């Protein structure tokens, strides 16, 4: 039975989605000959060609379709196809021209008051089968790292994988792949062991010398392997294309780092001694979640915003806009503008998207400021929370951008003051947490404040206030190993204290005869 054109295209699309490229090609090649000017046939044929190593045949065909289609939406789509094909072929100058054309068409569409319909992508993992949320991905991470360690290859958690482990204590639920890094002197051995242990190398449209993708055949999880090269007292990573100009490189710079061994359920693994150094280089303020972050484009440690990175950003910006996902497209335009404030296309595109989202009553995303925070740490009893406590927390918060307050235990209060507080620790912590000047409240910390403790938690300043000279001596003794620039003493609010409040209560404050 002969299929209609619509049925044949539907079948070819189904086969491409299933990864049955040869079967899809048997349908699309005859259709291309029979319907050479059909945009629908061309769209699927070009998509298949760029997946199967025939990208070189795409530009000429796509250019013909681009000249034939009408309307800014269709023009934008085919300009994007042309840009993507030239990008894969590493003709970045041509790719940049076509991506610019696509953006201009999309802005013309926005000026006319129209936007592409929002085509949400179906999620492949439901909440109950998400291998990252379930812990299956983390098991695979540790078993892989342990296998590499047994082979004397010091590979370690990196990028988003490291971020989840350090910030959340587990992998990020919404992550899409595992990230590990290894120094380039171990690169070939690392890749060989991965393939020996069952990981399957995934084809990449651009083959980089220091970056490779693998897929686990059973779980379908992708593993990104990043190679790091020593450069003086720094490490450099990113995407390397040897033999190409600087504009064809994506160089990310990290401080030199040391590794340590730690136990896992699968054996000893390697892990960074100071993961915060890597995360700060990558993300800046890595403690503030940003679901719109794109490591390729957003990374704070890019040495230069090269043409290669700009093409990645344009490609993803246009793709999101064509799908009608204005919020995601806006984020890409915003990231480009952060890297290059003179990029007129990104700035104008962002403005037109903001107008469209305002008109459609859609929320414009909020992009967190990713500059490094100045984090302040303090310890307090906070018993019978009063005006003096509020004044102290206000001034402590003003010393930086984030304030963490440790509300000390009842036992510690007895040790220091010889008596229990009126309020229990949980009650005191709840009141402090309700104060707008406290960004985070903890209840368990070491008795002494050391440089190691401050560095581990990313604290820049330790602050306190003293009601007496004896209290001052005691508090300085607790932080005596800190350098002077990390210590900040704040003034004590006179006329109010917890002891005074207790005396008022004992004196009958609040009773009818209290003022007589």
| Token couple for 213 | 């993708």
Q: What is the pTM of this model?
A: 0.73
Distances (CA, A) of 467 to 6, 416, 449, 491: 82, 14, 20, 9
Please check whether the two domains, 5-111 and 131-289, share a CATH topology. Answer: no
Which DSSP string do the residues of 2-68 spell out, in sequence order?
A: PPPHHHHHHHHHHHHHTT-HHHHHHHHHHHHHH-TT-HHHHHHHHHHHHHTT-GGGHHHHHHHHHHH
CATH code for residues 131-289: 3.30.460.40
Mark the ranges of the chain whose per-residue pLDDT is less than 70: 1, 120-129, 369-373, 509-516
Ramachandran angles phi, psi of 393, nearest 5°: -65, -35
Structure confidence at residue 254 (pLDDT) = 94
Structure confidence at residue 516 (pLDDT) = 38
pLDDT digits (tens, 9 = 90+) for 192-232: 999 999 999 998 999 999 999 999 998 899 999 999 999 98
Alpha-carbon distance of 128 to 432, in angstroms, equals 36
What residue segments make up the domains of the chain, in order of their start? Answer: 5-111, 131-289, 375-504
Helix ranges (H only) for 151-291 are 159-167, 187-196, 275-283
Superfamily of domain 375-504: HUPs (3.40.50.620)
Ramachandran angles phi, psi of 187, nearest 5°: -60, -55
DSSP reduced 3-state for 271 = strand
Q: What angle do CA 459, 460, 464 make, to 5 degrees?
A: 90
To the question of domain 5-111 being in CATH 3.20.20.10, the answer is: no
Alpha-carbon distance of 82 to 103, in angstroms, equals 13
């Amino acid at each position: 039975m002969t299929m209609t054109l619509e049925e044949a295209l539907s079948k070819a699309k189904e086969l491409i989605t299933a990864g049955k490229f040869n079967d899809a090609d048997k349908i699309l090649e005859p259709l291309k000959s029979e319907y050479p000017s059909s945009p629908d046939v061309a769209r699927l044929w070009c998509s298949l060609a760029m997946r199967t190593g025939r990208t070189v045949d795409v530009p000429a065909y796509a250019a013909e379709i681009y000249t034939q289609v009408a309307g800014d939406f269709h023009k934008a789509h085919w300009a994007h196809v042309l840009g993507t094909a030239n990008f894969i072929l590493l003709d970045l100058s041509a790719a940049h021209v076509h991506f610019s054309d696509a953006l201009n068409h999309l802005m013309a569409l926005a000026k006319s008051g129209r936007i592409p319909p929002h085509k949400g992508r179906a999620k492949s993992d439901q909440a109950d089968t998400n291998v990252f949320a379930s812990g299956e991905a983390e098991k695979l991470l540790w078993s892989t790292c342990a296998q590499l360690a047994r082979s004397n290859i010091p590979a370690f958690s990196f990028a988003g994988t490291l971020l989840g482990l350090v910030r959340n204590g587990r992998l990020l639920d919404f992550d899409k792949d595992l990230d590990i890094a290894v120094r380039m002197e171990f690169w070939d051995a690392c890749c060989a062991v991965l393939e020996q242990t069952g990981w399957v190398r995934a084809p990449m449209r651009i083959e980089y010398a220091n970056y490779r993708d693998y897929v686990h055949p059973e779980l379908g999880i992708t593993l990104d392997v990043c190679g790091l090269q020593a450069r003086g007292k720094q490490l450099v990573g990113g995407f390397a294309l040897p033999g190409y100009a600087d504009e064809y490189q994506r160089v990310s710079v990290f401080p030199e780092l040391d590794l340590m061994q730690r136990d896992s359920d699968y054996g000893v693994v390697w892990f960074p001694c100071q993961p915060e150094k890597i995360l700060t280089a990558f993300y800046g303020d890595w403690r503030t979640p940003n679901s719109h972050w794109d490591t390729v484009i957003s990374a704070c440690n890019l040495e230069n915003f090269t043409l290669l990175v700009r093409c990645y950003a344009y490609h993803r910006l246009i793709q999101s806009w064509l799908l009608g996902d204005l919020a995601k497209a806006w984020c890409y335009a915003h990231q480009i503008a952060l890297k290059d404030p003179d990029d007129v296309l990104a700035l104008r595109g962002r403005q037109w998207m903001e107008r469209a989202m305002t008109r459609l009553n859609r929320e414009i995303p909020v992009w967190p400021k990713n500059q490094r925070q100045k984090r302040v740490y303090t310890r307090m009893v906070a018993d019978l929370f009063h005006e003096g406590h509020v004044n102290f927390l206000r001034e402590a918060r003003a010393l930086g951008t984030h304030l963490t307050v440790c509300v000390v235990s009842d036992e510690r209060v007895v040790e220091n003051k010889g008596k229990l507080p009126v309020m229990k620790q949980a009650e005191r912590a709840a009141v402090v947490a309700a104060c707008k000047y406290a960004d985070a409240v903890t209840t368990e910390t070491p008795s002494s404040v050391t440089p190691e403790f401050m560095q581990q938690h990313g604290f820049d300043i330790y602050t306190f206030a003293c009601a007496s000279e004896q209290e001052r001596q005691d508090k300085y003794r607790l932080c005596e190993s800190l350098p002077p620039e990390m210590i900040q003493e704040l003034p004590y609010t006179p006329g109010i204290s917890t002891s005074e409040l207790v005396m008022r209560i004992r004196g009958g404050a609040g009773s009818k005869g209290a003022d007589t």
